[in-house]
Amino acid sequence: MNRRREDLKENLRRRGLFLRSMIANPREVGAVWPTSRWAVRDLLEMGDLARARTVVEFGVGTGVYTEEVLKQLHPEGTFLAFEIDPALASAVGARLKDPRLRVINDSAENVEDYLEGAKADYIVSSVPFTSLPADVRRSLLEAARNALAPDGQMLILQYSTAVLPYLQSTFPKIQRRFSPLNIPPAFLFACSAAVLADGARSVEEAPLEGSVEKIPYVLASLVLGALILLLLLGRRSISRR
Ligand SMILES: C[S@@+](CC[C@H](N)C(=O)[O-])C[C@H]1O[C@@H](n2cnc3c(N)ncnc32)[C@H](O)[C@@H]1O
């Protein structure tokens, strides 16, 4: 019972930290709560992290992706995780002690400085590309493409498809899928740096398996989201009176 209460407290503390970061830097954070574990798994499934030796994360937040990547990463792998918010970076660095992980409090635009000549097999990102200033978005995507190994992939989660034109102008091959088990539901992209033989560019759908079985969970998460929203709105109108 005590353990459960401790876990709940820790979870709320992380969400509080994330919300504070969102209020201070809305364009950089771009979400009110962390990604769900289901959506994180749906995204990582688009790659094959077990084959990776070098993985990079753009935008650690509270570390939901970081934890899952560590579960899947090879025992001798290296994992560089970037977060510009110092409070979020130091909380994740203190919580996830793993010799493969280095949490870096710097913009992911500087990823190549930290790779020291190595290339990344995967870059996992949930930075909100469409709300960032255009020059930052451009330099993040360029830095990612330059940091990837020739057969490497950038796995991206976004809350809309508005990012697609920017991805298309950076990566020759893109697979996309929809992940319903998140609030709000998420759009996932696996972008390959490899140039296609004929110089062509492609965007393919990679549907999620078992989507139909997940519908009850989707409905439940939507109802829960609506209840939380109503509760927050209700509290605001009471405090205004
Ligand atoms: C939508 S939040 C996602 C956080 C976490 N990965 C999750 O899904 O819960 C985006 C995160 O990216 C971070 N971020 C934004 N721009 C960044 C940059 N240039 N370099 C590193 N982190 C950045 C923000 O501070 C924020 O924590």
CA 59 to chain CA mean position, Å: 7
Q: What is the reported pLDDT for 194? A: 81
| In contact, 82 and 104? CB cutoff 8 Å | yes
- Rounded CA-CA distance 57/66 in Å is 7
Alpha-carbon gap, residue 197 to 199, rounded angstroms? 6
Residue having the nearest C-alpha atom to atom 8 of ligand 1: 35
Residue nearest to atom 7 of ligand 1 (CA): 34
Fold classified for 2-210: Rossmann fold (3.40.50)
Give the number of the atom of ligand 1 that is nearest the alpha carbon of residue 108: 20
Q: Closest ligand 1 atom, CA of 25?
A: 25
Distance from residue 20's CA to the centre of ligand 1 (Å): 13
Residue bearing the CA closest to ligand 1, atom 19: 107
CB 88 within 8 A of CB 106: no
Distance 30 CA to ligand 1 centre (A): 8
In the 3-class helix/strand/coil scheme, how is the chain assigned residue by residue? CHHHHHHHHHHHHHHHHHHHHHHHCHHHHCCCCCCCHHHHHHHHCCCCHHHCCEEEEECCCCCHHHHHHHHHCCCCCEEEEECCCHHHHHHHHHHCCCCCEEEECCCHHHHHHHHCCCCEEEEEECCCCCCCCHHHHHHHHHHHHHHEEEEEEEEEEECCCCCHHHHHCCCCEEEEEEECCCCCCEEEEEEECCCCCCCCCEEEECCCCCCCCCHHHHHHHHHHHHHHHHHHHHHHHHHHC
Residue indicated by tokens 């009176």: 241
Q: Return d(Cα 183, Cα 205) in angstroms, integer.
A: 22
The per-residue pLDDT for 32 is 80
Among candidate residues 9, 17, 10, 15, the one with its CA nearest the CA of residue 87: 17
Span from the CA of 85 to the centroid of ligand 1 (angstroms): 8
Strand order in the sheet with 186-192: 101-104, 78-82, 54-58, 120-125, 148-158, 186-192, 173-179, 202-205
**Is residue 168 a contact partner of residue 154, using CB atoms and an 8 Å limit?**
no
Q: Which residues line ligand 1 (CB under 6 A)?
A: 21, 28-31, 34-35, 58-62, 64-65, 82-85, 88, 107-109, 126-128, 140
pTM equals: 0.86
pLDDT of residue 122: 98
The predicted-structure confidence for 41-79, as pLDDT tens digits, reads as follows 999 999 999 999 999 999 999 999 999 999 999 999 999
Ligand 1 mean position, distance from CA 84 (Å): 7
In this predicted structure, what is the pLDDT of residue 217? 67
Residues of the chain falling short of pLDDT 50 = none
